[in-house]
Amino acid sequence: MQSRATGRQWLLDRRSAAYDELRLQAHRFAKTTSRYFRTPNDDNRQAVEDGLWELDMACTRVELISPNVLVERARAILDHASDKMYPMTGAGVAFTDAQRDAVMAELTKRIGEYFDAARADVRSSSGS
């Protein structure tokens, strides 16, 4: 009985760590993309590319250990970042302030939805 409880706690700890890492990387990606939008240069573009890679890795960790609802939320963040935001950082891409604000707002919304679902999963899994 004790080893089963220990195993459940270990799994919950790993899931919580994966959830936190994705949340952290999503916020970092938002910050680096925002920085690029303010100052579009090669260094900031490289930071966006690095951030997208880190976000992808964090999403993969969540996919490997989480229930489907969390995987869907994590994928929604990554899909938005890679399909909508990253292309806006290309050379010569023109966009309006309203377009920039809309993609940033959508990312923030998706991060919030993910975080709410992750918190609910941890609470239900820990019996709280």
- What CATH number does the domain containing 118 carry? 1.20.120.1730
pLDDT of 40 reads: 92
86: containing domain: 2-126
Q: What is the pLDDT of residues 52-77, one digit of tens each?
A: 999 999 999 999 998 888 999 999 99
Q: What is the pLDDT of residues 14-58, one digit of tens each?
A: 999 999 999 999 999 999 999 999 999 999 999 999 999 999 999
Integer Cα distance of 7 and 126 in angstroms: 12
DSSP symbol at 24:
H
128 pLDDT above the threshold of 70: no
- Number of domains within the chain: 1
* Concatenated DSSP letters of 29-97: HHHHHHHHHHS--HHHHHHHHHHHHHHHHHHHHHHHHS-HHHHHHHHHHHHHIIIIIGGGGSTT----H
